[in-house]
Amino acid sequence: MKDKVLLAFVIAFAFLHAGFIRPTVSQKLQEGNRLYHEGKLEEALTRYNDAQLSDPARPEILFNMGNIFYRQKKYQEAIDSYTKAMEKGGRELEGKAFYNIGNARFQRGQFREALDAYKQALDRNPDDLDTKYNLEYTERKIKEMLSQAQQTITQALKEQAKQAQAQQVQGKSGEPSEREDQRDQRQDQQAVGPSDGREGARDEEKQGAGEMEQRKGNENLREQKMMKDSEEEGKDTGEKEEGRKGSEELSKEDAERFLNTYEQSQKNLILQNRPSGLARRSYVEKDW
Is 200 inside a domain boundary? no
Is 47 inside a domain boundary? yes
Helices (H) and strands (E) in the chain, counts: 10, 0
Please give the residue that has the higher pLDDT: either 253 or 69.
Answer: 69
State the residue range of the domain holding 25. 21-129
Residue 142 has φ and ψ, to the nearest 5°, of -65, -40
In the prediction, which pLDDT does 247 show? 44
Is 284 inside a domain boundary? no
- What gap in Å lies between CA 237 and CA 25, rounded to an integer? 79
**Three-class secondary structure of residue 16 per DSSP:** helix
Is 100 inside a domain boundary? yes
Dihedral over Cα of 264, 266, 270, 276: its sign: negative
pLDDT 10s digits, 48-74? 999 999 998 899 999 999 999 999 999
The count of structural domains within the chain is: 1
CATH code, domain carrying 81: 1.25.40.10
Is 150 inside a domain boundary? no
Q: What is the pTM of this model?
A: 0.57
Is 232 inside a domain boundary? no
pLDDT at residue 92 above 70?
yes
Reported confidence tier of residue 236, pLDDT bands at 50, 70, 90: low
Query: Which of 112, 131, 82 minimizes the C-alpha distance to 278?
Result: 131
